[in-house]
């Protein structure tokens, strides 16, 4: 999409972790852009995440569901240049205990947005997919051309949406671009995911639950680097129909991460608690990022260690944010899932 101004963006799932970082990043960078944030405000959608931009006249929040055609069409009728679809159910563990909402939101919701994009026309539709669609990275980091072998209902729903988006390019010429990013970390991550859970539990002197032997590895990227990659993809010419992996080539085992967090917070290793493994637990996720580097000149520039320092600092300084979340719904989920208090 050309870097023409003004530009109207529809961001879905903007009250979540990556979406809220992206909205803030774009409003800061592009003074002439207008953003509509369509978010259902599920347990993971936290209005406070964007409290600082609520009054900005360039920003509009719509509380609604991406599966609701009427709401989606109403937004498109008012004009949308580009869609960035973050909205999804995102937690692998929850997809194992209760898959239905993952299929509904992640697949059907993406279909509703694609249909609106087809009907009303857009200059770009970025489908935020994930490296989890590849399944195991067995010998080497996964390439965009590799097979999709998702192993959880979450990953499989995202793979469905990923390929559905592609089909809207091949069949209806909707200018879709699909991104498959590795594991993000940073401010505003809901404290059910590994890094945000371990940091907040460690601050609270609670056990740090580690699945299996702790040797599973993920490819970690600091969230701001991801936002920058999406900005690059949003404005790049001639890439409709393409898939881009996004990552920082920073693989770490879960145990390495847990040790680092305990060390940086000065907490004892006795807090580590090995718990029952996740069914279908992917041993290794990792993505090859040569394509985005070569074709779009993007690469991550925050090291894992710097990102961890920034993230720890943020969680130390925003204790009210996560302490408030770690009550009610979260606590019920946590106790049931881990059998811990
Ligand atoms: P998140 O769970 O923090 O936020 C998801 C947001 O989507 C929430 O604000 C929620 O209210 C909203 N939402 C859920 N269902 C909705 C619906 N039906 N209609 C409208 N809004 C709805 O997720 P996240 O970690 O920020 O991930 C954002 C996107 O990035 C997802 O598509 C995810 O699959 C993808 N992704 C995440 C990671 C990661 O490491 N977090 C990595 C790669 C890709
Ligand atoms: P997670 O943050 O749930 O992301 P994903 O499963 O989508 O990659 O988990 C990251 C890794 O951490 C994964 O190997 C599972 C592991 N993990 C634990 O060991 N303990 C936990 O409590 C959680 C939430 C995750």
Crossing angle (nearest 10°) for helices 110-120 and 69-77: 30
Ligand at minimal distance from the CA of 158 is 1
The pLDDT value recorded for residue 6 is 63
The pLDDT value recorded for residue 3 is 64
The pLDDT value recorded for residue 4 is 56
For a mutational test of ligand 1's pocket, the pick from 42, 84, 90, i.e. the residue with the most ligand atoms closer than 8 A to its C-beta, is: 90
Q: Which atom of ligand 2 is nearest to the CA of 90?
A: 7
Kindly tell me the sign of the dihedral angle through the C-alpha atoms of 234, 295, 149, 221: negative
CA of 209 to the centre of ligand 2 (A): 10
Nearest residue CA, atom 25 of ligand 1? Answer: 17
Q: Which atom of ligand 1 is nearest to the CA of 104?
A: 18
Q: What is the mean pLDDT of each run of 10 residues along the chain (341 residues)?
A: 77 99 98 98 98 98 98 98 98 98 98 98 98 97 98 99 99 98 98 98 98 98 98 97 98 98 98 98 98 98 98 98 96 95 83
* Residues annotated as catalytic (active site), given as ranges: 131-132, 154
Domains and CATH numbers, the chain: 8-184+221-246 (3.40.50.720), 187-218+250-280+303-331 (3.90.25.10)
Return d(Cα 339, Cα 43) in angstroms, integer.
Answer: 20
Phi first, then psi, for residue 45 (nearest 5°) are -95, 110
Q: Which atom of ligand 1 is nearest to the CA of 20?
A: 26
The pLDDT value recorded for residue 341 is 83
Nearest residue CA, atom 31 of ligand 1? Answer: 86
Decide: 211 in ligand 2 pocket, CB within 6 A.
Answer: yes
Decide: 112 in ligand 2 pocket, CB within 6 A.
Answer: no
Give residues (CB < 6 A) around ligand 1: 12-13, 15-19, 38-42, 44-45, 65-67, 86-90, 105, 109, 128, 130, 158, 181, 183-184, 190
Query: Three-state SS across 160-203?
Result: HHHHHHHHHHHHHCCCEEEEEECEEECCCCCCCCHHHHHHHHHH
Q: Is 244 helix (H, G, I), strand (E, B) or coil?
A: strand
Ligand at minimal distance from the CA of 39 is 1
Ligand at minimal distance from the CA of 128 is 1
Decide: 151 in ligand 2 pocket, CB within 6 A.
Answer: no
Phi first, then psi, for residue 125 (nearest 5°) are -130, 105
For a mutational test of ligand 1's pocket, the pick from 87, 129, 218, 329, i.e. the residue with the most ligand atoms closer than 8 A to its C-beta, is: 87
Return d(Cα 277, Cα 266) in angstroms, integer.
Answer: 27
The pLDDT value recorded for residue 49 is 98
Nearest residue CA, atom 34 of ligand 1? Answer: 90
Ligand at minimal distance from the CA of 137 is 2
- The answer to whether 153 and 105 are in contact (CB under 8 A) is no
């Amino acid at each position: 999409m050309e870097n023409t101004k003004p530009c109207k963006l529809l961001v879905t799932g903007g009250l979540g972790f990556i979406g809220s970082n992206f909205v803030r990043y774009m409003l800061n960078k592009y003074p002439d852009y207008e953003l509509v944030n369509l978010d259902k405000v599920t347990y993971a959608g936290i209005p406070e995440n964007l409290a600082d931009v609520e009054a900005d006249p360039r920003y509009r929040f719509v509380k609604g569901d991406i599966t609701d055609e009427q709401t989606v069409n109403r937004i498109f009728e008012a004009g949308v240049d580009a869609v960035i679809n973050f909205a999804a159910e995102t937690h692998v563990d929850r997809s194992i205990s209760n898959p239905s909402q993952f299929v509904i939101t992640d697949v059907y919701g993406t279909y509703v947005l694609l249909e609106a994009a087809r009907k009303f026309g857009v200059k770009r539709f970025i489908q935020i997919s994930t490296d989890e669609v590849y399944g195991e990275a067995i010998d080497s980091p996964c390439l965009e051309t590799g097979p999709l072998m998702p192993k959880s209902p979450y990953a499989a729903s995202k793979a469905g949406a990923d390929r559905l988006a592609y089909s809207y390019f091949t069949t209806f010429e909707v200018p879709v671009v699909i991104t498959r990013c590795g594991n993000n970390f940073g401010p505003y991550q809901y404290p059910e995911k590994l890094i945000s859970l371990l940091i907040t539990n460690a601050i609270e002197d609670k056990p740090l639950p580690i699945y299996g032997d702790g040797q599973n590895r993920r490819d970690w990227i600091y969230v701001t680097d991801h936002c920058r990659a999406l900005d690059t993809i949003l404005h790049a010419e001639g890439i409709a129909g393409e898939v881009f992996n996004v990552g920082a080539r920073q693989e770490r085992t879960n145990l390495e991460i847990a040790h680092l967090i305990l060390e940086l917070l000065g907490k004892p290793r006795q807090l580590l608690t090995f718990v029952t493994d996740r069914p279908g637990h992917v041993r290794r996720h990792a993505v090859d990022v040569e394509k985005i580097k070569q074709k779009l000149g993007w690469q991550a520039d925050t090291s894992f260690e710097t990102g961890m320092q920034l993230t720890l600092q943020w969680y130390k300084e925003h204790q009210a944010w996560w302490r408030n979340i770690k009550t009610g719904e979260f606590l019920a989920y946590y106790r049931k899932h881990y059998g811990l208090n």
